[in-house]
Amino acid sequence: MATPSLLLTAVSHSGARPEVDVKTKLTVSLQGRALLQDPFLNKGTAFTPEERILFHLEGRLPPRVETLEEQVERMYAQYRENHTPLEKHLFLRSLQEYNRTLYYALLNRHVEEMLPIVYTPTVGEAIQTYSTNFREPRGLVVTRENYTRLDAMLEEYDDTELVVATDAEGILGIGDQGFGGIGISIGKLTLYTLVAGFDPARTLPVVFDVGTDNQDLLNDPYYLGIREPRLRGEAYFEILDAFVTAFKKRFPQAIIQWEDFSRGNAFAVLERYQDQLPSFNDDIQGTGATALAGLIAATDHGRTLTEQKFLILGAGAGGMGVAWQVYHGLVQLGLTSEEARSRIHLMGRNGLMMQGHPRVEPHHQFFAKTPEDIAGWTFSGTIPSMLETIQQAGITVLLGLSGAGGAFSEEIVQAVHANTSRPIIFALSNPTHLAEVTPELALQWTDGQAIVATGSPFPDVYHQDRIFKIGQGNNTFIFPGVGWGVQAAGATSIPSELFTAAAFALAAAVTPERLADGAVFPRIADLFQANQQVAIRVAEKAAAMGLATRTPEEMQQALLEPEWAPVYRTYNPVT
């Protein structure tokens, strides 16, 4: 299929998602209490007098009929009565299980304020206390007791188009969280609906509860997951194979996002299933594309990217994803494969990743250095340290994905600054306390010359009579748009080229004003606009690669208008 022309009309830059046409009337079979208890259909005090009669709701609601806008104001006032981030998170989760439309309308109105509450960094604390604060069941829980009955279990779900699935062993920077990891799947799907307009009724959070090695959870009297050590090896993949087989049979066009698996399983799961159905791993591919986008924006929209030398601290899923996307970006900009590889230095906890070293795993091999690569270097140990690598390789870009808070010390940052007048320092580890360096210190140690980005939100920095805005390298700028573009194209698979395309699209969405203020990512308030541009580029790339199954007209319509928006419809009863 030829690449379609996907020239869209200008979109609003107000921060809010624009209004879209939606189906204004729905035929509804539920009534009475059952209707009020369905979060996808419940309108609460917004049910009209006529609907209250038709659906047997008289006497069940306060007399006053409110608009959605009035409900949003009421909910925001209640939200502000909660004091801690966790309290606010739990309030919003309760609202989500009561009235999906009102929940998303509230988030859409206050996206910049509430994104850190529904997602990182607060979602980490919510996951750690998931069993203690459990209220409503949500999603699909797959265990070794029920995986043989998945065909029957999935029959209970209507038309599903998007899944976020986790085994919860590598949650953010907090590791194995067992059953509570379903909270990350819920949170990610919230962002798909908020940012890209996926219908929440057609999304499904999934957790593979295969046990936990977290002793605190095993000792917790409130823990709701399986109290056994984690399954490994063939028994583990037997469960995932069964899920993929049953899911593909039931929902052959749906997208699966693999989320927060351990480093070893993350690569194995991605490689095992990426050709079986449209699927990707956000920790690997989404993180890589986000970082590449920031680097493109930081280097005059990529014009000087090929001149940089990169050190990536952290060789887990995120670090490897960044390494591969930087590599693909450099090759796309004209470097040979070997030239691109030579500029990327992968740093483990004990030093530079070297071939033949015991800690170098198969997925590290491509970027692990050989003795010939570092011929002429001087270093004190058996392998070069981070400081020695910076000095010997002439590193100009530091990328932190280690989960080691404070790992970029003053000596490290200044060593990079010695190699370049404008060092690029990305401290991308989450949550906030795990950032490798704070923006304030990075700017202080480089006399305000560093180009800084972080994974978690940080406030503006005042330095030398100037205010620096700190861009947040949040994967939410990438994965909703990738999903949207794949869905719009009906793409049959999601190769790495789509993420490289997404990175260049995101970089192009960074305005000159943001760059002048020091930020290499858009404002959080502009998530919709950025993701729409990502979706367009991803759909175009999928079509160019022959992966699209939808016509150019169908693709353009899907890209112009998200399929769902938080507005109330008029209900008609089943006759």
DSSP calls for 399-439: EE-S--TT-S-HHHHHHHHTT-SS-EEEE--SSGGG-SS-H
Give me the pLDDT at residue 350, please: 86
Dump pLDDT digits (tens) for 478-505. 999 999 999 999 999 999 999 999 999 9
- Supply 72's token pair: 């949003």
Give me the pLDDT at residue 22, please: 52
Q: Across residues 464-479, what is the average pLDDT? A: 96
d(CA 416, CA 311): 10
Closest CA to 181 of 215, 146, 141: 141
Closest CA to 296 of 287, 283, 305: 305
d(CA 247, CA 444): 52
Do the beta carbons of residue 86 and residue 57 sit within 8 Å?
Answer: no
DSSP calls for 38-57: -TTT--GGG--HHHHHHTT-
Dump pLDDT digits (tens) for 423-468. 999 999 987 888 999 999 999 999 999 999 999 889 999 999 999 9
CA distances (Å), origin 14, targets 11, 17, 26, 327, 476? 9, 8, 30, 35, 18
**Burial, 224: exposed, middle or buried (Cβ in 10 Å; 0-12, 13-18, 19+)?**
middle
CA distances (Å), origin 457, targets 9, 34, 257, 487? 31, 40, 24, 29
- Confidence check: pLDDT of 50 > 90: yes
Residue 3 — very low, low, confident or very high, per pLDDT cuts 50/70/90?
very low
Give me the pLDDT at residue 25, please: 85
Give me the pLDDT at residue 264, please: 84
Dump pLDDT digits (tens) for 99-148. 999 999 999 999 999 999 999 889 999 999 999 999 999 999 999 999 99
Do the beta carbons of residue 306 and residue 326 sit within 8 Å?
Answer: no
How many residues are there in the chain? Answer: 575
Do the beta carbons of residue 564 and residue 22 sit within 8 Å?
Answer: yes
Contacts with 369 (C-beta within 8 Å, 6 or more apart), sequence order: 345, 352, 353, 354, 355
Catalytic residue among 79, 103, 104, 119: 119
- Confidence check: pLDDT of 11 > 50: no
d(CA 188, CA 148): 27
d(CA 192, CA 177): 23
- Confidence check: pLDDT of 16 > 90: no
Contacts with 240 (C-beta within 8 Å, 6 or more apart), sequence order: 208, 269, 272, 273
Rounded to 5 degrees, what angle do the CA atoms 166, 167, 172 make? 70
Give me the pLDDT at residue 17, please: 53
Give the CA diameter of the chain: 84
Strand ranges for 455-526 from DSSP E: 461-463, 466-468, 471-472
CA 143 to chain centre: 25
Q: Across residues 8-21, what is the average pLDDT? A: 44
Dump pLDDT digits (tens) for 324-336. 999 999 999 999 9
Dump pLDDT digits (tens) for 148-207. 999 999 998 989 999 999 999 998 778 999 999 999 999 999 999 999 999 999 999 999
d(CA 163, CA 253): 11
Catalytic residue among 188, 369, 469, 541: 188
Give me the pLDDT at residue 356, please: 87
Residue 8 — very low, low, confident or very high, per pLDDT cuts 50/70/90?
very low
**Burial, 501: exposed, middle or buried (Cβ in 10 Å; 0-12, 13-18, 19+)?**
buried
CA 473 to chain centre: 10
* Whole-number percent of the chain with pLDDT over 70: 96
Q: Which of 213-217, 359-363, 499-503 has the lowest mean pLDDT?
A: 359-363
SS3 content of the chain, % helix, strand, coil (to 5): 45, 10, 45
Dump pLDDT digits (tens) for 540-575. 999 999 999 999 999 999 999 888 999 999 999 997
Q: Which of 57-61, 427-431, 499-503, 530-534 has the lowest mean pLDDT?
A: 427-431
What value does the CA radius of gyration of the chain take, rounded to a whole number of Å? Answer: 24
- Confidence check: pLDDT of 357 > 90: no
Give me the pLDDT at residue 9, please: 41
Dump pLDDT digits (tens) for 503-518. 999 999 999 999 999 9
Give me the pLDDT at residue 432, please: 85
Is 188 one of the annotated active-site residues of the chain?
yes
- The pLDDT mean for the chain works out to 93
Is 119 one of the annotated active-site residues of the chain?
yes
Q: Across residues 271-281, what is the average pLDDT? A: 95
- Confidence check: pLDDT of 300 > 60: yes
